[in-house]
Amino acid sequence: MNDRENIVVRVENLDKCYFKRDGASGKMVPFYALRNVSFEVAKGEVLGIIGKNGSGKSTVLKILSGITPPTEGVVEIFGTPSSILDIGTGIHPEISGRENVYLRGQLLGMKKQEVDEVFEELVAFSGVGDFIDTAVKHYSSGMFLRLAFSIIVHLRSDILLLDEVLAVGDASFRRRCVAKINDIVERGCTVVLVSHDMGTVMEICSRVILLDKGRVLSIGSQKDIVQNRYMSGSDNGDLQEGESDIPKLKEIQSDEYGYKVERFGLFDMDDLEITEFESADEVKILLDYTILENNVNLAMGISDVMDVRLIDDSPVLKLSKNNRMRSGRYKVTWTIPTRLFNAGTYFIGLYAFDNKLRVLKIYNRVVQFTVTDKSVPKYIQEFQRAAFKVDLKMQIQRLAV
């Protein structure tokens, strides 16, 4: 990173100021979309820029691609960049896929011969097949996106600036796209990408910048940042400042749905409430609640930062017949086995359902906890994606020297 020869994008103290009309006075007031943003991108790096809506992610890319000038600061780019700020720009519905491939390729800076060279491969990748000579307006939306994306990944540039363009198509096409991006990067291309899609960011970015209200909140490894972002609780960009999608304990304690939670949280063996523990320690989840109506049940679930459910369990599974628990006060303790979690951030949620297993209420992320792991070096933790430590039976044989 310190090798200055290898820097292909340098951004220094970038400010971008727009003017917006103030509703009350009718005057134009300045509004900073970016404030003092600095970062560098090295050759072959995949840099992800994440942040809530309106954090300035797209503005950074607009400035990097030269579409709009910075208000203050300097951007330097060494190499030939291609900026794809929108998947379908320049693709015209009235003309055929073939003509569009040539036109868009050329709009993005390719020569006609260069398009010739990759044309077959490009069409094969898109899976558009025979439809290549059909007007694009007759394409299904999936075909359109696949064709548009194929053009992008077959571009010949050494810096790709991508704005939210990876979240396209079905799952299998998306996987191929990610593989293709990795392929391009291996060949020495540098990628700067803006994305909402944490999956993509986790998968392909080597470094991540987190923007908030136009400022750089942090720069770091993707795992750190993605987890950091979720720690703030409010991942949903539509939420206003101060709001949070973490439910308040008070809200959970309401008896509106026929139950009342007295206590819910993570505790160590001495019954002290905790939010962080070492993977080797034994801890427990405690749920103390009252069922007011006979047909209400509760369940607990542990999820990762991407809200993927890892574990769920409900007392109803152990106690009752016919999915029914009788009213009364219950105290449930789940013990988390030692050395179960890898280091990372996790959430415990609470779910209420009736005896026909219909969901009454979902509270994701009621409790947040962090697992630390001294047994694994920090630099390995950065690359760990799995939530659980499972000791698989592993055999290693050296077959040749």
Partner 1 sequence: MKLLSLQEMRLRYTKQPDSFSAYLGKVWDYRYMIVVLATRDLKIKYAQTVLGLVWTIIQPLTGLAIFYFFFHFLVAMPKVPECGYAVFAFSGMTAWYFFSYIVYQGSNSLISGQELSQKVYFPRIILPLSKVVVGAVDLTISLCLLMVLMLVMNVKPGWQILLLPGFVAVNATVGLSVAVWLSALTIRYRDLQHIVPYIVNFGIWLTPVFFPTTIVPDKLNWFLYLNPMTGVVEGYRWCLWGYSEFTWSYAFGLILAFLLLIAGTVFFKRQEHHMMDVI
**CB-CB contact of 292 with 254 (8 Å):** no
Give the residue from 3, 5, 80, 70 showing the smallest Cα distance to 38: 70
* Identity of the residue numbered 81: P
The 150-169 site mask, x for binding partner 1 (CB under 8 A), equals ------x-x-----------
Binding-site size for partner 1 (CB under 8 A) equals 45
- Cα 10 from Cα 41, distance rounded (Å): 7
Among 111, 309, 329, 331, binds partner 1 (CB under 8 A): 111
Among 28, 29, 38, 89, binds partner 1 (CB under 8 A): 89
- Adjacent-strand bridge partners of 159: 81, 190
Contact residues for 79 (Cβ-Cβ < 8 A; gap 6+)? 8, 157, 158, 159, 190
The 120-139 site mask, x for binding partner 1 (CB under 8 A), equals ---------------x----
The DSSP call for residue 342 is P
Check binding of 67 to partner 1 (CB under 8 A).
yes
- Choose one: 80-88, 308-316, 352-360, 363-371; the region binding partner 1 (CB under 8 A): 80-88
Q: Which of residues 3-22 bind partner 1 (CB under 8 A)?
A: 5, 8, 18
The 326-345 site mask, x for binding partner 1 (CB under 8 A), equals --------------------
Counting every residue written for the chain, the total comes to 401
- Two tokens, residue 196: 């909402």
The 37-66 site mask, x for binding partner 1 (CB under 8 A), equals ------x------------------xxxxx
- Minimum distance from residue 53 beta carbon to partner 1 (Å): 18
Q: How many CB atoms lie within 10 A of CB 91?
A: 20
**CB-CB contact of 161 with 65 (8 Å):** yes
Q: Which of residues 182-211 bind partner 1 (CB under 8 A)?
A: 187-189
E strand or H helix that includes residue 54: none
Residues near partner 1 (CB under 8 A) are 5, 8, 18, 43, 62-81, 83-86, 89-90, 92, 94-95, 99, 103, 106-108, 111, 135, 156, 158, 187-189
